[in-house]
Amino acid sequence: MAKKGPIDPIKMRKETAEWLAAHTIEDVRGIARDLENAGEDVSELVAAINELDALVNESTNRLRHDAAKAEA
């Protein structure tokens, strides 16, 4: 059970960073599906996930393009 009381923002950032380092966008999509199945409105969450996915893909494509250009 989650403890009540003030949240330490530094600890929260550390825990969030650790969680993100070990999980993927697909993990977050799964959480969104679970929340939606529980009746929650996840439209904003799904939009944010899609935006993040697009940014990641854009960055990956740019890195590949730059690497191919450097090899040429």
C-alpha distances out from residue 23 to 1, 15, 19, 64, Å: 22, 12, 6, 23
- What global pTM score does this model have? 0.60
Q: Grade residue 65 by pLDDT with cuts at 50, 70 and 90.
A: confident
Beta-carbon count within 10 A of 48 CB: 13
What are the residue boundaries of the structural domains of the chain, listed by start?
Answer: 26-71
Given a contact cutoff of 8 angstroms between Cβ atoms, the answer to whether 5 and 29 are in contact is no
To which H or E segment does residue 3 belong? none
Residue 3 in this model has a pLDDT that exceeds 70: no
